[in-house]
Amino acid sequence: MKVAAHEPPKGSSVTVYIMGKAHEVPAEATIMGAIEYAGQQIIRGAGCREGYCGACGTIYRLQGDYRIRTGLACTTLVEDGMTLAQFPFVPAEKAVYDIEKLQPNVSAIQQTYPVVFRCVACNTCTKSCPQGIQVMDYVQAAKRGDIAAVKDLSFYCVSCGLCMLRCPAEITQPLVATLAKRLYGRHLRKESPELAERVQAVEAGAFDAEYAEMMAMSHEALSERYYARDVE
């Protein structure tokens, strides 16, 4: 099999610079794996290790490239010559608000995160997002009070904080996204009449007998019944 020039063969190593010091690490390591391979213990800045929790935001540069690059340490692979730094968290002040007292409109943004209106549309946040989210587009949607659009555009945000670290207007984007999701959930989501009906039935005791029967079953019998259930 022909191996492309930029893919080192299995078993080879690359040099990365962790906190300024050179380390030889396996070429197939993630940044997080490389840091631990180099003998450092990660106390902060690691969580699920699977790209979901956003705790391991990392910035790095590659040799010969002027850009500051960003990634999650747990899912980004090392490259030869990578100079990297992790940061434990990004300080950001959460607004205190009563979701019942806010309406899903631009006034809610103005009251809670007025910093949003400092956005100059430079798009640096979007460039920095390891999730590939159009961050600036949702900040702009927040500016015009389109809460549903903020919710949709920011859906895959893991709150790693890289956007707010890079933002020249010092906006706290993930917190704004969280507010929009809460506003949507409280004020704009579709009502679910089926849920209310089912809660009513539960409270009226419609499932009490079935529940009591299952509570009395042995582990084996319960397991058998579980795996034999109808699944769509």
Partner 1 sequence: MKLAYYPGCTLKNHARNFDDTTVASMARLGVEVRELERWNCCGTVHGLASDNLMQRAAPVTNLIRVKESGAGEFMTGCAMCYNTLKRANQHMRKDAAALATLNDFLSLEETQYAGDVDVFHLLEFLRDRVGFDKLAAAVTKPLKGLRVACYYGCMLVRPREVAFDDSESPAIMENLIAALGATPVPFALKAECCGAYHAVGRPEIVADRTDKIMGSALAHAADIVIVSCPLCAHNLDHKQVEAKKHHPDFHGLPVLYFTQLMAIALGCDDAAQHFELHHVDPRPLLTDRGLA
Q: Which spans of this chain sit near partner 1 (rule: CB under 8 A)?
A: 105-106, 119-123, 126-127, 136-137, 140, 143-146, 168
In the bound state with partner 1, the residue whose beta carbon lies nearer, of 123 and 131, is 123
Instruction: Tell me whether residue 61 or residue 127 sits nearer to partner 1 (CB atom).
Output: 127
Per residue, the 3-state secondary structure of 141-198, as one string, reads HHHCCCHHHHHHHCCCCCCCCHHHHHCCCCCCHHHHHHHHHHHHHHHHCCCCHHHHHH
Smallest distance from partner 1 to CB 120, Å: 5
Q: Considering the complex, what minimum distance in angstroms separates the CB of residue 75 from partner 1?
A: 21
CB of 126 to partner 1, least distance (A): 6
Give the distance from CA 118 to its chain's centroid: 24
Minimum distance, C-beta of residue 78 to partner 1, in the bound complex (Å): 24
Compute the distance between CA of residue 184 and CA of residue 136 in angstroms, rounded to an integer: 19
Cβ 97 to partner 1, closest distance in Å?
19
C-beta closer to partner 1: residue 103 or 223: 103
What is 4-41 written as a DSSP string? PTTSPPTT-EEEEEETTEEEEEETT-BHHHHHHHTT--
Residue 218 beta carbon to partner 1: minimum distance, rounded to whole angstroms: 59
Q: Is 148 exposed, middle or buried (0-12, 13-18, 19+ CB in 10 A)?
A: middle
Residue number, 15 or 124, with CB nearest to partner 1: 124
Residues 6 or more apart whose Cβ sits within 8 Å of residue 111: 95, 97, 102
Q: Which is nearer to partner 1, 85 or 122 (CB)?
A: 122
Please say which residue, 127 or 182, places its beta carbon nearer to partner 1: 127
